[in-house]
Amino acid sequence: MPFNVEAIRADFPILQTKMAGKQLVYLDSAATSQKPKVVIEAIRDYYVRYNANIHRGIYELSEKATEAYIQSKEKAARLINADGIENIVYTRNATESLNLVALTYAAQNVRKGDHILITEMEHHSNIVPWQLLANRNNATLDYIKVDVKTGMLDRNSLSECMEKGPVIVSITQASNVLGTINDVKVIAKDAHSHGAAVIVDGAQSIPHMKVDVKDIDCDFLAFSAHKMFGPTGLGVMYAKSDMLDKMEPLFGGGDMIMTVTLKSHTWNGLPWKFEAGTSNIEGGIAFGAAIDYLNGLGLAAIDRHEKSLTEYALKRLGEIEGVSTFGPDLKYVDKRVGLVAFSVGGVHAHDIAQVFNDNGIAIRAGHHCAMPLVREVLKRDSLARMSFYAYNTKEEIDKAVDAIEKVKKVFKVC
Ligand SMILES: Cc1ncc(COP(=O)(O)O)c(C=O)c1O
């Protein structure tokens, strides 16, 4: 079936609007995706027809809200091939999911002198929690190096780091700067053979490709609803049941308990033991609608479409003098997700983004919450990035190319 981008675009009201007086060209879905009408409607429907707290009320509205919230977890479990909702903990975002693993499982298991292993291409969300933990528990944080030429992980560095016998390996499945897709299945196998627990940051992979937690065999997986057509304020921490069983909850309060006495308490079952207090009910319900929408388009079709856009963007940007792109090159486009970071001569990325804005084009500019990668590895102050989703077109990339020509003219780049 051909991918009907025009029909998809009609589902997104914001894509019919203007920015800076021009037809909006939204090329920043890696930061957050736009939302289809069905997701916006799901939020409205909840508030208009069945707003009530969940788990608590013995009345129809509350039962309906609880059912919709649980259905959303069932959909999330099916999406990643988890066993069931007991493995799906809802958080605020991928950042909170990664912090939750660091503050619970890792805090309870990392000892003085242990090694924690991440990579140089991580988002701050998968760096800072481990720096904090390493400091607190007197552990050492090691980084698998990035091969700047290929934009992929350096194999020698990977094996050297594994030889140190890390107890935690936390790695992104797709880089938000390089676009690189890491072979997390192979890395997880290696890590497990050294006795490590494996955490995958799926923030940039889950929205764009089929991911199967059983196939990867990761112990934890983190991602955010807002990057996959869903609402902000809702993230997922997937974990294997035996991990969750062993872990103490981070927060105490309502919903996470079974019984409370003046002296003590017992915990609720999974996943509720990790969800204290009133949940983001509208977020959970809208996320269910987002997953339905995503499945309706088909992850394989989305992946194919984005790869063809990425290939086209790499080709077109490669033809412009003074423009550099980052990450795996054209022949490895199958190892990339749909985003391209680029620079134009020595022009600051904020200046590039300003010219793009004036032409109605939204892109991301700066360090992309990956300062170690951008500054210390790629040796750049800032980069511009265009990122794609199901609703983007080659014509929009052509508009971005025209905007780059304007940047060159304004800032006199030869
Ligand atoms: C690779 C990666 N990990 C984690 C995050 C954090 O996601 P959130 O801000 O939704 O917590 C992002 C956000 O851009 C990301 O790109």
Q: What is the DSSP letter of 368?
A: T
Ligand 1 atom nearest to CA at 125: 4
Known catalytic membership, residue 369: yes
In the structure encoding, which two tokens stand for residue 3, read together? 């991918």
Number of domains in the chain: 2
Give the residue whose CA is nearest to atom 14 of ligand 1.
Answer: 31
The Cα–Cα gap between 341 and 385 comes to 4
Does residue 36 fall inside a structural domain? Answer: no
Quick one: pLDDT at residue 2? Answer: 67
Residue 224 Cβ inside 6 Å of ligand 1? The answer reads: yes
Quick one: pLDDT at residue 94? Answer: 98
Compute the distance from residue 257 Cα to the ligand 1 centre, in Å: 30
DSSP character string of 224-243: EGGGTT--TT-EEEEE-HHH
Residue 406: give its domain's CATH number: 3.90.1150.10
Which of 100, 206, 224 has most ligand 1 atoms within 8 Å of CB, for mutation? 224
Residue 289 and residue 344 in one domain: no
Residue 204 Cβ inside 6 Å of ligand 1? The answer reads: yes
Compute the distance from residue 248 Cα to the ligand 1 centre, in Å: 25
Q: What's this model's pTM, rounded to 2 decimal places?
A: 0.97
Does residue 305 fall inside a structural domain? Answer: yes
Residue 119 and residue 15 in one domain: no
Give the residue whose CA is nearest to atom 9 of ligand 1.
Answer: 95
Query: Which residue, 293, 368, 313, is CA-closest to 75?
Result: 293
Length of the chain in residues, anyone? 414
Quick one: pLDDT at residue 56? Answer: 76
Residue 223: give its domain's CATH number: 3.40.640.10
Q: Which residues contact 60 (CB under 8 A, 6 or more apart)?
A: none
Boundary (domain end) residue, out of 274, 295, 316: 295
Residue 285 and residue 339 in one domain: no
Greatest Cα pair distance in the chain: 74
Boundary (domain end) residue, out of 295, 319, 348: 295
Compute the distance from residue 50 Cα to the ligand 1 centre, in Å: 31
Residues of 134-166 as b/e, b for ≥16 C-beta within 10 angstroms? beebebebbbbbbeeeebbbbeebbeebbeeeb
In the structure encoding, which two tokens stand for residue 158, read together? 């990977």
Query: Which residue, 1, 11, 52, is CA-closest to 293?
Result: 11
Quick one: pLDDT at residue 1? Answer: 59
Quick one: pLDDT at residue 57? Answer: 75
Of 161, 218, 369, 414, which residue is the catalytic one?
Answer: 369
Range of the domain at 269: 41-295
Residue 205 and residue 331 in one domain: no
Residue 171 and residue 144 in one domain: yes
Boundary (domain end) residue, out of 241, 265, 295: 295
pLDDT < 70: residue spans in the chain: 1-2
Question: Is 105 in contact with 133 (CB distance < 8 Å)?
Answer: no
Residue 19 and residue 129 in one domain: no
> How far is Cα of residue 376 from the mean position of the Cα atoms in its chain?
23
Residue 137 and residue 72 in one domain: yes
Extract the runs of DSSP E, i.e. beta strands, from 152-311. 152-153, 168-172, 197-201, 220-224, 235-239, 257-260, 265-267
Residue 309 and residue 375 in one domain: yes
Query: Which residue, 36, 70, 90, is CA-closest to 297?
Result: 36
The Cα–Cα gap between 141 and 319 comes to 40
